[in-house]
Amino acid sequence: MVRLRPLKKNDLGLMVGWFEDRLEFMQWCAGKFQYPLTIEQLHDYYERTENDMNAWIMTALDSSGDPAGHFLMRKADYDNNSVHIGFIVLDKHHRGKGYGKEMVGSALNYAFDILKVERVTLGVFENNLTAHRCYISQGFIEENHIENAFQYDGESWGLYEMAAKKN
């Protein structure tokens, strides 16, 4: 079972160890953080988000109440009834157990039931197959594909822009 709550600064230190390697890290952040991730980078991210009235960071807790995942809700647009989620990541020890699907489903429930938006968007690189399948399983559909959206070690990654709509 996954529970959501706002991120606390103490959660940030745990995230430093959640990535297996640089490739996985770049799939998560698209170069918006430097590898390896440091607590200083995460504190800066926290402060920037705290100053953005249309963004907030959420923590997913496992059944024991321990942080198991993280995502950012941003670009809240109440005129157009939408919000974007990003920086979605699970602690590597919680992967493959359904936590990702449950966390994304809980994020959608929060967006639809608490924020009362009609549409949630996200982006996922085409080479991040596990995440892509997770999002589709939770009702996201591909709306657009951007070729060559990100360059990584001589590779060019495409990006799927996806959206889920309230039923």
* pLDDT per residue as tens digits for the range 91-126: 999 999 999 999 999 999 999 999 999 999 999 999
User: SS3 for 96?
Assistant: coil
| Residue 165 within a domain | no
| Residue 109 within a domain | yes
Number of independent structural domains in the chain: 1
| Residue 84 within a domain | yes
Give dist(CA 70, CA 12) in Å, integer: 10
| Residue 133 within a domain | no
| Residue 134 within a domain | no
- The H or E element that residue 44 is part of is helix 39-50
Give dist(CA 54, CA 17) in Å, integer: 28
As to burial, measured by CB atoms within 10 angstroms (0-12 exposed, 13-18 middle, 19+ buried), residue 148 is exposed
Q: Which amino acid is at 23?
A: L
Q: pTM for this structure?
A: 0.96
| Residue 93 within a domain | yes
Q: How confident is the model at residue 14, as a pLDDT?
A: 96
Give dist(CA 71, CA 155) in Å, integer: 26
| Residue 116 within a domain | yes
Q: How confident is the model at residue 77, as a pLDDT?
A: 98
Inform me whether the pLDDT recorded for 130 exceeds 90.
yes
Q: For residue 73, what are its two tokens?
A: 């809700």
Percent of the chain at pLDDT above 70?
100
Inform me whether the pLDDT recorded for 160 exceeds 90.
yes
| Residue 163 within a domain | no
**CB under 8 Å to 67, separation ≥6 — which residues?**
11, 14, 59, 60, 61, 91
- Confidence band (pLDDT; 50, 70, 90) for 133? very high
Residue 56: alpha-carbon gap to chain centroid:
12
* Domain extent for 36: 3-121
Strand partners, 159: 125, 146
Q: How confident is the model at residue 167, as a pLDDT?
A: 85
Reported as a single tens digit per residue, the pLDDT across 24-63 is: 999 999 999 999 999 999 999 999 999 999 999 999 999 9
Q: How confident is the model at residue 140, as a pLDDT?
A: 98
Give dist(CA 117, CA 86) in Å, integer: 16
The CATH number linked to 17 is 3.40.630.30
Reported as a single tens digit per residue, the pLDDT across 63-87 is: 999 999 999 999 999 999 999 999 9
